Amino acid sequence: MELSELATRTGSRILLVVIDGLGGMADDRHGTELEDASTPHLDHLAAEGVTGLLEPVGPGITPGSGPGHLALFGYDPVRFLLGRGALGAAGLGVPLHPGDVAARGNLCTLDAAGAIVDRRAGRISDEEGRRVAARLNQEVAGAEFHHEKGHRILVVFRADGTPGGLDPRIADTDPQATGVPPLDPRPLDPAAEPTAALVAATLRDVSRVLADEPAANGLVLRGFDTQRALPSFRERTGLRAAAVAVYPMYRGIASLLGFDVLGPPADLPEQVRLLEKHREDAEFFFVHVKDADAAGEDGDRAAKVAAIERVDEAIPDLIAALEPGVVAVTGDHATPSQMAAHSWHPVPVLVHGPRCGRDDVDRFGERWCHAGGLGIRPSTDLLPILMANAGHLSKFGA
């Protein structure tokens, strides 16, 4: 059954606040960051609402940002897997056409023998990264180089004139280690051999051009991907959706699904203003806040607690701006600060609205949500629950 078969347009507005990397991991010293944060507004929503835990991809599976968000939007994240290249292109607003292939490029530092000695090219500045990308665009013919941030660039190989397009089944050239040289762009399928040859030739040109660079004298690629046709959120749910996100990648994911991408806002107060301004323009509003994940990735527990508390403080404003019928707060995955990385741990969720029911949970946090009324379930379950709560799903069967 497709949700679209039951979708109506008669319901109320839904606000989904995604606190990136919200989930944590309690240990013998601390609770999770959310458990230990002071979150009176989230606790109030949890007390009046229902809570639970979400698994984005599956038990034990650590999700990337793409799968984590697709699952929250109701898309099976295994079936609709997006590569880093396609996500990056979407985030930068670089159009990919059928047959084009994109990859994440990391500028790095190579030693005289060609081995990687710094995988981030000495953490070069945005300005330096932009300069190197511009130089590559001028001096290398085989690809486009779009600067993302610091040492990270998006590399796009255009299909122009290639019958049947390019083939993304190319192994990463990034060994994700130092002390070894970049890998060859090996075809993972015989059909990808011509594309692999094009990538290899382009990378030879890149090496020649970067040879005299002081820091960024190497480039490794990973996550080769092409544009996938994703069914739009509107088509699947009947709902108009809007995204209010500061970071390009999350605007990009929303854009791939046909969301109206508002802004871009610079910070949470601007996100609040955009919600207020556009509250009549959609039924489903996705608000993305990045800081908790960034702090978790840095292994900075205190910063992650503080980031969560900042979202908590903004909750009344977000609700006042949108006046939604249903509010949900959750994360796209866990980023425990002890691991300084994404993890597989289930992510707490709360749903608040006049029809959500009640459970005995009155604080928002993993160890309380265990006993919540939503149980522990796949993240893809959330969207139909929100649609039902907002009155957007009709009865199934007679």
Q: What does the binding site for a second copy look like in residue numbers (CB under 8 A)?
A: 1, 6, 25-28, 31-32, 48, 53, 57-67, 77-78, 81-84, 87, 104, 223, 336, 338-339, 341-346, 354-355, 357-360, 366-367, 370-377, 381-389, 393-398
Q: Name the residue among 314, 260, 259 with its Cα closest to residue 73.
A: 259
Would strands 50-55 and 347-352 be described as parallel, antiparallel, or unpaired?
A: antiparallel
Would strands 101-110 and 152-157 be described as parallel, antiparallel, or unpaired?
A: antiparallel
Residues 6+ apart with CB under 8 A from 249: 65, 87, 88, 90, 91
Work out how close the CB of 232 gets to a second copy at its nearest, in angstroms, rounded to a whole number. Answer: 20
Q: Which is nearer to a second copy, 265 or 365 (CB)?
A: 365
* Residue 67 contacts residue 81 (beta carbons within 8 Å): yes
Work out how close the CB of 353 gets to a second copy at its nearest, in angstroms, rounded to a whole number. Answer: 11
Work out how close the CB of 192 gets to a second copy at its nearest, in angstroms, rounded to a whole number. Answer: 18
Q: Which is nearer to a second copy, 306 or 339 (CB)?
A: 339
- Per DSSP, 230 falls in state P
Work out how close the CB of 339 gets to a second copy at its nearest, in angstroms, rounded to a whole number. Answer: 7
Q: Which is nearer to a second copy, 303 or 339 (CB)?
A: 339
Q: Which is nearer to a second copy, 149 or 355 (CB)?
A: 355
Q: Which is nearer to a second copy, 268 or 345 (CB)?
A: 345
Q: Collapse the DSSP code of 165 into the 3-class scheme (helix H, G, I; strand E, B; otherwise coil) and give the result.
A: coil
158, with CB counted inside 10 A (0-12, 13-18, 19+), is middle
Q: Which is nearer to a second copy, 67 or 182 (CB)?
A: 67
Work out how close the CB of 387 gets to a second copy at its nearest, in angstroms, rounded to a whole number. Answer: 6
Residue-wise over 289-318: b if at least 16 C-beta within 10 A, else e?
bbbbbbbbbeebbebbbebbbebbebbebb
CA distance 312 to 307: 9
Work out how close the CB of 204 gets to a second copy at its nearest, in angstroms, rounded to a whole number. Answer: 26
Work out how close the CB of 152 gets to a second copy at its nearest, in angstroms, rounded to a whole number. Answer: 12
- DSSP letters, 335-351, are --TTTTS-B---EEEEE
Identity at 274, one-letter amino acid code: L
CA distance 94 to 138: 18
Q: Which is nearer to a second copy, 240 or 367 (CB)?
A: 367
Q: Which is nearer to a second copy, 181 or 373 (CB)?
A: 373
Helix (H) or strand (E) holding 188: none
Identity at 24, one-letter amino acid code: G
Work out how close the CB of 381 gets to a second copy at its nearest, in angstroms, rounded to a whole number. Answer: 4
CA distance 367 to 369: 6
